[in-house]
Chain A
Amino acid sequence: MSMNSPLVAEQSTVSVIMLKVLGALVPAIAVYVYFFGPAILVSITLASVAALATEAAVLYLRRYPLRVYLLDGSALVTAWLLALSVPPMAPWWMVVVGTVFAILVAKHLYGGLGNNLFNPAMVGFAALMISFPAHMTQWPAPEMLAQTHWSFTQQMDFVFGGMLPADSKLDAVTMATPLDALKTQLHLDREMTDIQSGKIFSTLSGKGTEIIALLYLLGGLFLWQQRIISWHIPLSFLAAMFGTAGLFYLFDSSQYASPLFHIFAGGTMLGAFFIATDYVTSPTTLLGKLIFGAGIGVCAYIIRVFGGYPDGVAFAVLFLNSAVPLIDAYTQPRVFGHARKWFKGSKE
């Protein structure tokens, strides 16, 4: 290739960006292990191996250079995000199936890195949610709340072989998530304050999970400080969810949880900083990012509170992913030297 200006460049690469994203997840994962045991590390490993193997196979078939594309780290990010969205107590093959589906269908059938319309991790998650809803709700109880304690080997026996330890039931180690608990109990006509006095609830949202959410938030702030993500999507996402939840809360606080609860519950923090901010599947204009984030915040709230699923972040992300081309097309910023225009196609 002949040389052409510019002849200098910043030395950052896609791999560096992806590595930083992975790094930003580490503290939250550490706390995850602390509260819920090391099973999550197994699912992250499974997902990583599955992602890299699938990626390698597809790259080979598509005759892409393996090394650079495997090292770009994007498959690992998908794997980790998916693993963190699937209960670590689910059978081992679930996270594998989800990852393969994510990489194969959501990423490569759309053209590979940079071309996918939907967030691969969320596509994998949605596929699992729809196909195996029961397994997808087997969330472990925080260790301090579990009725009995399974050893790591016992957990692995269950994950890999479906074997329950003698005289123990799955119920003994799993538990409804705060969001789930809220929903079922509200159906039983219980009052909010009453429900939230339950032992899984804590100051912000759920015991353990709220700390993990806080660390996702910190990881996200790190990415922002490193200029890997901009503030637009996370902030508009959180603000929109907070605002929507706030409205309902003001309207009837005995039926609707507080806005603070919502932004620290479920997949909100992970979604706001790590999932919705995925470059490839989010808008490129600043205004578009604000609309996108806000859209997810509102949709996620509506789905999780009024819909049939325990959480709404994944479906909200996918829904808004599909709107990205439209959002981008209608939010093109004013170009230097052109008059301001308020909508596409208006005269300049």
Chain B
Amino acid sequence: MRTLYPFHGGVHPADHKSESAQLGIAVAPLPQRLVVSLFQHRGSPAKPVVTIGEQVLKGQRIGAAEGMISSSVHAPSSGRITAIELHPAPHHSGLPDLSITLETDGEERWIERQPMDYCAIDPSGLRQHLQDMGVVGLGGAAFPSHVKLNANHLETLVINAAECEPYITCDDMLMRERAAEVVQGIMIAQHAMGARNVLIGIEDNKPLAIASMQAACQGTGMEVVVVPTLYPSGSTKQLIKLLTGKEVPSGGLPTQIGVQCFNVATAYSMHRVANHGEPVISRLVTLTGNVEEARNYEVLIGTPIGELVKLARPKADTTGYIMGGPMMGLPLTDLSVPVVKATNCIIATSKALFPPLPRAMPCIRCTRCAAACPADLQPQELFWFAKSKNFEKAQEYKLFDCIECGCCSYVCPSHIPLVQFYRFAKSEISAQEKDRKAADLARERHEFREFRQEREKLEKAARHAAKAAEAAARAAKTSEGGGDADVDAAAAAKKAAIQAAIERAKAKKAAVKPQNVDDLPPEAQAKIDEIDERRAQAKETAEQTVTAQNTDEGQSA
């Protein structure tokens, strides 16, 4: 048995996994219309490379990656492009994405698929290929995978198969049914990064997946590590800690400690890309919750969620839908949103499964939240600072190390929507940081102008002084001879004055340099960008919450 290094805290929500794990994976029928978002991943959106009216083949690239942190998107089926427009998308921000609408023709005609020998090309070529084929993290974060593959002589490659969120079973079923392919995918990542060890972390509530993965790993040197069921052991940082005992430094990347982590479904899609030449056009989605027949489906990206959920036959008393799990998922307000690469699960909600939470009470400092926090934070302090908008303090108490896992809210006996307050504070801080940067730039410009004006003034004065001194010297020379010392003194004074002005300006400049937002690693930057994007919405909901709470408090019942 491998030694595990438990992380702090964690919670045990009811897992509701068996419901959707009874039946094998089914293929969802081809919808008539697919809406493929160009912004399915973190970073920058892809750029459309097709035109309206164009006929496309299944697997044809329709959006090209733009920049380093971006990923291409492909036609999930063959058909005709009918629109390229903003369309509602399942994002926390609630913002629509530029999306490509595809009328399918039902023929499923593929482009020419070319498997590649990934061992024969150099890693940078492989990374390029994965970006072109649209490989992103399928665990829910949708970070472009090629960026993460940029490491060599890696000590440990961690495969995240913990699937710790309740209800979700798509990774479980994937491992049960397609373990061999998953392992082939892992080999690609292992090869690309020269990883010495491969650890596959699976929670102990998935015995069948564990067995099939163990069988598939025979003779590969990969190790299946069974970890106790504890939310959020599937969070990258927590899983890495659990398996290796190492902590990813705050604001840093796993590669800094010689580790990289991929989701098991991402590894599977690497296999499809490299060994079958198929881009990422579908994924497994768990349909579960308040439905007649919970099950996992292989779903084309772009399938409208409203249409998809019908497969599971939602019960009559369904109150809504969640994309993702109940701990970190996104409640859907609009069912026209399409499946994106991050869509791992759709849960139909009901009053019985998701009873409304009791009203929020003041924080009683019971510290249950701190005991549950896997990031070793003090959520009650963060709440206090976020609520009073004391953002500086919130940062001092490491707000940005919060992974928004929701454990704190889950255990809070006062039922305070803590995570909402953190999202709000984070977005406010990022916004302030942006404003400050802009202001700094303006101030720097202003200061430079002042500095230049002052320098010109000084130079002018110095010129005058020099002239005067020269005249004096000349006069002195005619009268006495000698007196160069005076001239030297005047020149030195001039130099000193200019030097002093420069120093002053430099010092000022140094003092106003923004401190904590430079040189962020791409993942952190992408995160901040995403936070920014969520800002408007988070701010709104958080303020609603605060006012709701205040008005609640302000009304006597």
Contacts and interface: CB of A to CB of B under 8 A. Distances in A.
A336 B364 contact: no
Given A17-B413, A284-B378, A336-B375, A113 B364 contact: yes
A13 B191 CA distance: 51
A69 B358 CA distance: 13
B412 A336 contact: no
Contact of A5 (B320, B355, B361, B406): B406
Contacts of A230: 367, 371
A72 B361 CA distance: 9
A337 B249 contact: yes
A7 B329 contact: yes
B244 to A, nearest CB: 14
Given A5-B328, A335-B398, A338-B398, A10 B411 contact: yes
Interface stretch (A41-49, A60-68, A300-308): A60-68
A68 B237 contact: no
B370 interface: yes
Interface string B372-386: 001111101100000
Nearest to B322: A7
A251 B353 CA distance: 64
B389 interface: no
Contact of B374 (A13, A74, A328, A336): A336
Contacts of A12: 411, 413
B553 A6 contact: no
B401 A7 contact: no
Contacts of B371: 230
B409 A9 contact: yes
A346 interface: no
Contacts of A13: 358, 361, 413-415
A59 interface: yes
B556 interface: yes
Nearest to B548: A1
What interface size band does chain B fall in?
Answer: 35 or more
A344 to B, nearest CB: 10
Contacts of A74: 364
Contact of A4 (B367, B411, B412, B541): B541
B48 interface: no
A337 B327 contact: no
A75 to B, nearest CB: 13
Contacts of B13: 8
Contacts of A285: 370, 378
Contacts of B401: 335-338
A335 B413 contact: no
Contacts of B331: 2-5, 7
Contacts of B451: none
Contacts of A66: 556-557
Contacts of A67: 557
Contacts, number: 158
Contacts of B7: 336
A59 B329 contact: no
Nearest to B16: A8
B523 to A, nearest CB: 13
A7 B380 contact: no
Interface string A94-106: 0000000000000
B362 A114 contact: yes
Contacts of A59: 556
B326 A6 contact: yes
Contacts of B478: none
A279 B365 contact: yes
Interface string B385-402: 000000000000110010
B481 to A, nearest CB: 63
A107 to B, nearest CB: 12
Contacts of A328: 381
B545 A65 contact: no
Interface in A30-86: 59-60, 63-69, 72, 74
B125 interface: no
A186 to B, nearest CB: 40
Determine which residue in B14, B327, B349, B367 has the highest number of CB atoms from chain A within 10 A of its CB, and name it. Answer: B367
Nearest to B257: A337
Contacts of B553: 63-65
A337 B248 contact: yes
Interface in B537-557: 541, 544-545, 548, 552-557
Nearest to B361: A14
Contacts of B250: 335-338
A5 B363 contact: no
B186 to A, nearest CB: 26
Contact of A2 (B237, B249, B326, B544): B544
Contacts of B556: 59-60, 63-66
Contacts of A218: none
B123 to A, nearest CB: 27
B319 to A, nearest CB: 10
Contacts of B417: 1, 4
Given A65-B555, A279-B365, A284-B367, A1 B380 contact: no
B439 interface: no
Given A280-B365, A333-B376, A8 B247 contact: no
Contact of B376 (A9, A114, A280, A334): A334
Given A63-B554, A65-B557, A5 B327 contact: yes
A296 B97 CA distance: 59
Interface of A: 1-14, 16-17, 59-60, 63-69, 72, 74, 112-115, 230, 279-280, 282, 284-285, 328, 332-338
Q: Lowest 8 A-B CB distances belong to which pairs?
A: A6-B406, A65-B557, A337-B250, A114-B362, A3-B331, A336-B375, A335-B398, A8-B326
22 contacts: A3-B331, A4-B420, A5-B331, A6-B410, A7-B326, A7-B327, A8-B410, A11-B355, A13-B415, A16-B413, A17-B364, A59-B556, A66-B557, A72-B361, A113-B361, A113-B362, A282-B365, A285-B370, A334-B376, A336-B250, A337-B250, A338-B250
Given A3-B320, A5-B324, A332-B378, 6 more contacts: A1-B541, A1-B545, A2-B331, A8-B14, A8-B326, A13-B361
